[in-house]
Chain A
Amino acid sequence: MNDQACDKPRHRYALMIDADRCIGCHSCEVACKMENDLPAGPRPVKVLQIGPVPGACGPVMGFQPLTCLHCDRPACVQACPTSAMQKRSDGIVYSDPDLCIGCQTCAVACPFGIPELNPGTGKIAKCDGCMNRVDQGLWPACVLKCPTGALTFGSPARVVQSTRQQKALRIVQYMTIESAALNTP
């Protein structure tokens, strides 16, 4: 289908979502709307509140930012009758507004319910990975503005390395604190 054939090979990127750091402030949602001039209605990034539910030590509540997964074999791309939905060689799945007719076939095909209709334009609005920013070497808007660093962007190897290092540092800090507590008379 409309995959890598039409554009030159690009580096692939990864968007890491650390739900532990998300506080449900919706900054990512508003950043996306600002960046793409979207009206009320479509939300390419959504923050889902889970809970509170009873837990062993009191209520438990978490937040999960949801956005397009930019699937390796995207059902939306295969279902689109006008080839508006495309996948770039860097992995970004996007809808070309010049080709989109707003039929929402992609919305039906997507198992995660990601594509939504933009009532302002009558075309599909979905996360395009801020490809216009990324092409200029900039971070996506949602990642850049997240107050708590719950979103991270970069090459897959670098993102994974960063996450591993942070987890390792946390373990070291924990051990340091615990050993200090044990040594305190």
Chain B
Amino acid sequence: MIGCAPLKRIAGTRKAHDRPVRTVCRECTLGCGLVVYVKEDRIVDVQGDEAHPVNRGRLCTRGMAFVQGLTHPERIMLPAARDRIDRPFLTLDNVDQGLDLLAERLQQNRQTHGPESLVIDCAPEAGLDFFLGALRFARLWETPHVFHPLAAPQEIRFPAGVEMSLTPSREPPENGCLFLMEADLATTHPVAFEWVLDAQRRGTKVCAVDTRFTATLAKADMAAVIQPGCGNQLGMAILKEFDAEGLWAAASAMNPMPESKAWAAVCRQLSVASIENIAGIRPGAVRSMVRLLATRSPVKMITGKRPAFFPHYGIWPAIARGTGVGWHPMETGWPALGAAIGSVFGAKHDAPAESATDFGRRAADPVSAAVRAAPKALVCSDDSLNKFLPAFPSLTADMDVAAYFGAFPNKTWERSHLVFPAAAWAETEGLWFSHDSALQWGRRVLQAPHGCCSGLGFWARLAGRFGWGDKFPWSNANGLADHQAFYAWVLSRYPETTGIDAARLKEVSVPIFPSPEQRKSAGWESPASSAPSKIGSETVSDPARRFPLAFQSTRTICGHGDAGRWWSWLRELEAEDVVQVHPDIAAALGIENGDDVRVAGAEDGCRAKAWISRMVNRQTVWSPRRLRADRVLIHKRGQSPEEAHRILKAML
């Protein structure tokens, strides 16, 4: 028999170097292995680690281009301060001077407004140590307001009874069907998507649903485009169809869960017409999906992050429980630490709530609670203010202090009083949790430039100014943060990571997975999976009347990271000032490719170049640029908004 031996990959670098460093890419949640070649404290080449089980030598754009950010001329290298945000920054001599100022203003703020007036916002780029350090500092400070996009707002944890040994990367070959719900792996995790394609080549059927016709949908066996914000409604439609076909009762009998009947009862309230009207997907397509899910066992559902920000997200674990399919919620909660994070660090999180029951309305979340609390002090990292707390930028002008911890000037930096230069991930070492619960140790590639500190170092030095130095006992002889000691302590605190010490992780260059027994002992629960008592009406809201098009913004090449905007090669691939419009809408409004158009929402708007494409449907426009708007009106230059509104109203 003739075997198929793939061509042998011959990897390495041709560039002169002093030393190779094997580490883990920390640009996304996958955890690819890297071999970084260094010469005279400069990175000269980056290759994928051929021996690493996650990427086997492959790399995505971000895993290669992060190097550009390290030596970017606009990188923030010194702390700076100003009294008011409309004045220029004054450069400070060192970080300690900045921390003294921050401590003084925080203390004044605490005395005047109380401890809960402090809000801390953490972006993924700042690293896990910044988030964990923030939680610890917040506990000491007694403020509940600590946010991280991976931990909010409707964090789903490992529900008991659901097969959750999850990864989009390792398991697909064993699945009969992969259901990708608003999870654009081809764009956000190209290396993981190869495993999906590999599974597809072995016979797995891939069904993908998203709000745009993305590369993931293009490669899927079955694809559907839905309206933004309606992913969970589609989940309910799927459950209704399961029920209608008699599959739900049979599956529920095999996997009896208390929520199953409640969800089934709620979903029966849905009318077929409402699913089509609201989600924009035909009932026949839903039926085909359900038949695929029912006949291609074992099935794994991979849900993206967006559905977690809308009501009824609990439908997905309910489907998983009721039908016995696997479920992987991507980038929603810390996979290995989620349930225990509050108990260890003691931060008081507001309970996730599903108070909004109407279609398309965002769920209540802790961010809204913080806005209502009228914060007067803010510490944020990277562009979190712009990306994750869109209601906050207008508030910073009235704040006592807004501090920014990051590497590049951005919109958050523009709204800050104090600036602290951050070390890049390649300049720190630390634990890396990927979303399949793998634990890896990311080695330091370079020393951080003088004046730039890690997230842990920032919080430890700030805490020291309030006499809480003994609460951050992780520093080495030079007074710098000792990440190995810190993560050894973190690992020892969680049931599922007890026994895995940081020194052992540092020695091996492959991921370590906590055993199933350890994970079971963690006792994951899913507070958000309970069924709502009723479903709201799908009446057309006032904003929908005034702004007839749904607006969606996602990054493509640069992914989640704000730093990507500073890498010229990636910026070249992803023009920010474009807006995708469906050809029918463009034709009706007289818009041609490249035309200057105005996108206007209730609170925000922008000018952009038109990109006419069927990637979006008729009811949606898309742009890489973020706007504080869910619904917009679009019109070309020289056309009045009223005229565009009239045309669109007649058309839609």
Interface residues of A (CB under 8 A from B): 21, 23-27, 29-31, 33-35, 39-41, 43, 51-54, 58-63, 132-133, 136-139, 144-149, 152-154, 158-159, 162, 165-166, 168-170, 173-174, 177
State the main secondary structure of chain A at its contact with B: mixed
Q: Which of B64, B187, B615 contacts A31 (CB 8 A)?
A: B64
Known: A54-B614, A146-B58, A147-B60. A30 touches B569 (CB 8 A): yes
Top 9 closest pairs, chain A to chain B, by CB: A25-B190, A61-B218, A165-B4, A23-B186, A147-B190, A147-B58, A30-B61, A52-B614, A40-B572
A30-B61, A144-B48, A148-B197 as given contacts; A24 in contact with B186, CB under 8 Å:
yes
A24 B215 Cβ-Cβ under 8 A = yes
**Bound complex: CA A23 to CA B190 (Å):** 8
Is the pair B219, A152 in contact by a Cβ cutoff of 8 Å? no
Interface centre among B9, B57, B193 (most CB of A within 10 A): B9
A sample of 24 cross-chain residue pairs with beta-carbon separation below 8 angstroms, ordered by A number, consists of A23-B193, A25-B187, A25-B190, A27-B59, A27-B61, A30-B573, A33-B569, A39-B568, A52-B213, A52-B615, A59-B213, A61-B615, A62-B218, A136-B12, A137-B10, A138-B12, A138-B13, A144-B9, A145-B48, A147-B59, A147-B190, A148-B58, A148-B190, A173-B202
Residues of A within 8 A of B218 (CB): 51-52, 59-62
Q: How far is it, in angstroms, between the C-alpha of A53 and the C-alpha of B583 when the chains are bound?
A: 11
Cβ contacts under 8 Å, A25 to chain B: 60-61, 186-187, 190, 215, 557
B65 within 8 A of A: yes
Contact B10 A34 (CB under 8 A): no
- With both beta carbons as reference points, the residue of chain B lying nearest to A178 in the complex is identified as B203
With A and B bound together, what is the CA distance between A41 and B47 in angstroms?
Answer: 23
The 8 Å CB contact of A21, one of B48, B59, B191, B197, is: B197
Interface flags for B48-65 (1: CB within 8 Å of A; 0: not) read: 100000010111110011
Known: A132-B14, A138-B12, A144-B48. A27 touches B64 (CB 8 A): yes
Closest to B567 in A: A30
Give the residues in chain A near B572, CB-CB below 8 Å. Answer: 40-41, 43
Cβ of B508 within 8 Å of any chain A Cβ, yes or no, is no
User: Does B347 reach chain A (CB closer than 8 Å)?
Assistant: no
Closest to B212 in A: A52
A120 and B64 CA atoms in complex are apart in Å by 21
Known A-B contacts A23-B215, A24-B215, A30-B570; A144 and B11 likewise in contact (beta carbons under 8 Å): yes
Knowing A23-B219, A60-B218, A173-B201, the reply to whether A136 touches B11 (Cβ < 8 A) is: no
Binary contact readout B199-239 vs A (1 if CB under 8 angstroms, 0 otherwise): 00111000000000101111100010000000000000000
The answer to whether residues A158 and B7 also contact, given A27-B61, A148-B193 and a CB cut-off of 8 A, is: yes
146-164 of chain B: CB within 8 A of chain A: none
Q: Answer whether A31 and B614 are a contact pair too, CB < 8 Å, given A21-B197, A173-B202, A173-B203.
A: no
B475 within 8 A of A: no
Beta-carbon nearest neighbor of B574 in chain A: A26
* B213/A34 in contact, CB under 8 A: no
Task: List 6 other contacts, CB 8 Å, given A25-B190, A40-B568, A144-B48.
Answer: A30-B569, A31-B64, A40-B571, A40-B572, A59-B213, A144-B57
Q: Is B501 an interface residue (CB 8 A)?
A: no
| A45 nearest CB across to chain B (Å) | 12
Does B194 have its Cβ within 8 Å of any Cβ on chain A?
A: yes
B57 and chain A: residue at smallest CB distance: A144
Q: Is the CB of B48 within 8 A of A34?
A: no
Q: Which residue of B lies closest to A50 (CB)?
A: B218
| Residue numbers in B under 8 Å from A170 (CB-CB) | 201
Instruction: Return the chain A residue nearest B193 by Cβ.
Output: A23
A148 x B194 contact (CB < 8 A): yes
Q: How distant is the Cα of A26 from the Cα of B12 in the complex, in angstroms?
A: 21
Q: Give chain A residues whose Cβ lies under 8 Å from the Cβ of B615.
A: 52, 61
Contacts of B47 in A (CB 8 A): 144-145
Task: Kindly list chain A residues whose C-beta atoms are within 8 Å of the C-beta of B67.
Answer: 34
A81–B368 alpha-carbon span in the complex (Å): 67
Of all chain B residues, the one with the shortest Cβ separation from A146 is B58
B6 at the interface (CB under 8 A from A): yes
B residues less than 8 Å from A136 (CB atoms): 12, 14
Asked if residues B60 and A27 are in contact (CB atoms below 8 Å), the reply is yes
The reply to whether the CB of B613 lies closer than 8 angstroms to some CB of chain A is yes
Complex Cα–Cα for A148 and B169 (A):
12
Q: Which residues of A contact B568 (CB under 8 A)?
A: 39-40
Cα A158 to Cα B7 with chains together (Å):
8
Q: Is B2 an interface residue (CB 8 A)?
A: yes
- Judged by a CB distance under 8 angstroms, whether B531 is at the interface is no
Contacts of B59 in A (CB 8 A): 27, 31, 145, 147
Q: B423 to chain A: which residues have CB within 8 Å?
A: none
Closest to A162 in B: B7
B176 nearest CB neighbor, chain A only: A177
Chain A residues near B197: list those with CB within 8 A. Answer: 21, 23, 148
Count chain B CB atoms within 10 A of each CB in A25, A35, A136, A137 and give the residue with the most: A25
B46 at the interface (CB under 8 A from A): yes
Give the chain B neighbours of A146 by CB distance below 8 A: 58
Whether A40 touches B569, Cβ cut-off 8 Å, given contacts A60-B218, A137-B10, A145-B64, is yes
CB distance from B31 to the nearest CB of A (A): 14
Question: From residue B591, how far is it (CB to closest CB) to chain A in Å?
Answer: 18
Which residues does chain A contribute within 8 Å of B45, judged by CB atoms?
34-35
- Least distance between A115 CB and chain B CB atoms (Å): 18
Q: Knowing A31-B64, A34-B64, A139-B11 touch, does A165 contact B2 (C-beta < 8 A)?
A: yes
| B14/A26 in contact, CB under 8 A | no
Query: Chain A contacts of B13 at CB under 8 A?
Result: 138
Query: A33, A137, A162: which has the most chain B beta carbons within 10 Å?
Result: A33
Q: Are B14 and A58 neighbours in the complex by a CB distance under 8 Å?
A: no
Q: List residues of chain B with CB within 8 A of the CB of A41.
A: 572
Give the CA-CA distance A23 to B61 in the complex, in Å: 13
Give the contacting residue for A177; candidates B12, B64, B194, B203; CB below 8 A: B203
A146 to B58, CA, bound (A): 6
Within 48-101 of B, Cβ neighbours of A (below 8 Å) are at 48, 55, 57-61, 64-65, 67
* B7 and A61 form a contact (CB under 8 A): no
- CB neighbours (8 Å) of A177 from chain B are 203
Contact A53 B614 (CB under 8 A): yes
Supposing A30-B65, A162-B6 touch, asked if A138 and B201 sit within 8 A by C-beta, the answer is: no
Question: Which chain A residues border B203 with CB–CB below 8 Å?
Answer: 173-174, 177
Residues of A within 8 A of B216 (CB): 23
Chain B residues with CB under 8 Å of A165's CB are 2, 4
Per-residue contact bits, chain B 545-581, to A (CB 8 Å; 1 contact, 0 not): 0000000000001000000000011111100000000
* Residue on B nearest A61 in the bound complex, by CB: B218
Chain B residues with CB under 8 Å of A33's CB are 569
B7 A153 Cβ-Cβ under 8 A: yes
Residues B65 and A147 in contact, CB atoms below 8 Å apart: no
Would A26 and B11 count as touching, CB distance under 8 A?
A: no
* Chain B min CB distance to A41 (Å): 8
Are A162's CB and B9's CB within 8 A? no
Q: Within the complex, what minimum Cβ distance (angstroms) separates A156 from chain B? A: 12
Q: How far, in Å, is B648 (CB) from chain A's closest CB?
A: 22
Which of A35, A61, A158 has the most chain B CB within a 10 Å cutoff? A61
Q: If the complex has contacts A27-B190, A52-B213, are A154 and B14 also in contact, measured as CB distance less than 8 A?
A: no
Of the candidates A26, A51, A169, which one forms a contact with B614 in the assembled complex, judged by CB atoms under 8 Å apart? A51
- B296 CB to closest chain A CB, in angstroms? 10
Q: Report the Cα distance A45→B313, complex, angstroms.
A: 41
Chain A residues within an 8 Å CB radius of B191: 147
Determine whether the beta carbon of A152 is less than 8 Å from that of B7: yes
Q: Which of B4, B187, B213 contacts A61 (CB 8 A)?
A: B213
Kindly report which residue of chain A lies nearest to residue B220, judged by CB atoms: A58
